Structure 1
Amino acid sequence: MPKERRDPIEAFGVMYATDELGCWVWQREKRAGYGIFWDGERQVRAHRFAYQMACGEIPDGHVIDHVCRNRACVNPEHLEPVTHKENSHRGQGSWRKRQMQVNCDRGHPLHGENLYTDARGRRACKVCRKMHREDFHARNPNYRREWRERHRATERL
């Protein structure tokens, strides 16, 4: 006789514990700190399931941000749909740290005339870029001549 399955919403309710900050901390399987939950059809992120059950569908182009900064939290009051860009801005990851940097690794200021921003939005120090370029050409003195020769050869084709 097949085993009778519990309602996913009922099962969800016993898989977390409340902490002193009001987070509903996921107690079962986790991947990269996020709870994993079987919704009756497939494995889903527990926080996404919690948000959808409490608030409805996640808007297109949005992800769920943990306002409490706790990846294991499944409390819908701590979850908010935001764009991926907004989620990155709010986060604590390496991208955020680089954006908050006021000086490069060598101590040069990362603002004003010394700030270089490439097409992908990455920031760099112009002084360090120049030093790197000069060092590269000092180690590869024939690079410019060889590049011009390759470039001219492709123009002739």
Structure 2
Amino acid sequence: MAATLRSQRPAADRFWAKVNKTDTCWLWTGAKTSRGYGQFTTGGRTGMAHRWAYEDRNGPIPGGLPLDHLCRTPSCVNPAHLQPVTQRVNILRGESVVAKNPAKTHCPKGHAYDEINTYVTRPYPGNPSGARQCRACDRERKRATSWKRRKNPQS
């Protein structure tokens, strides 16, 4: 009987009853995924709570795009903190290695990654988009190799 009573409550009432509105984020207190994203079941289907909140307040998500949590809090369902973006933009805005490397402005030796000092290698199986390389470091490697060959021509 409890399931029948629950299903008679409007989805919006059930949803917003599971939201703790703080000064900034609106935190989901219901079921969550292992990564901390809220889950909400309505109409026999389980979906992501932040997507439900966005659509409830803003209408359909354009083109089914992913929603980027601008606040970086997975359990936040505040529609003001959610922005529809492409998957690439969502990944690059994140905190993973995939996001951190393109955000680097200098190579490990301190040379700037700019148009003049940077080139991209051809794609290869481990990196299908190619890899960013520093021209200054490449010149230094080539000079060192050339110097070693001149010093020891038999090698």
CA distance in 2, matches of 1:73, 1:82: 17
**Secondary structure at 1:92's aligned position in 2?**
coil
What does 1:1-157 correspond to in 2, within 5 Å?
3-4=3-4, 5=7, 6-21=9-24, 23-31=25-33, 32-60=35-63, 62-118=65-121, 119=123, 120=129, 122-125=131-134, 127=137
CA distance in 2, matches of 1:61, 1:46: 15
CA distance in 1, matches of 2:77, 2:2: 31
Query: Scaled by the length of structure 1, what TM-score is found?
Result: 0.67
Q: Is the 8 A contact 1:36 1:46 kept in 2?
A: yes
Q: Aligned-pair RMSD on alpha carbons?
A: 3.0
Deviations for 1:16-65, whole angstroms, at most 9, x for unmatched residues?
A: 101222x1101122221211111232211100011111111111152111
Change over 3 Å in CA distance of 1:3–1:58 after alignment to 2: same
Instruction: Please tell me the residue identity of whatever aligns with 2:29.
Output: Q
Which 5+ residue runs of structure 1 have no aligned equivalent?
136-157
CA distance in 1, matches of 2:119, 2:64: 29
CA distance in 2, matches of 1:124, 1:11: 53
Which 5+ residue runs of structure 2 have no aligned equivalent?
124-128, 146-155
Query: How far is the alpha carbon of 1:9 from its aligned partner?
Result: 1.7
CA distance in 2, matches of 1:71, 1:92: 13
Query: How far is the alpha carbon of 1:12 from its aligned partner?
Result: 0.5
Instruction: Please tell me the residue identity of whatever aligns with 1:77.
Output: A
Instruction: Please tell me the residue identity of whatever aligns with 2:132.
Output: R
Q: Is the 8 A contact 1:51 1:76 kept in 2?
A: yes
**Secondary structure at 2:55's aligned position in 1?**
helix
Query: Scaled by the length of structure 2, what TM-score is found?
Result: 0.68
CA distance in 2, matches of 1:58, 1:66: 14
* Sequence identity percentage: 36
**Structure 1 stretches of at least 4 aligned residues deviating more than 4 Å after TM superposition:** 106-109
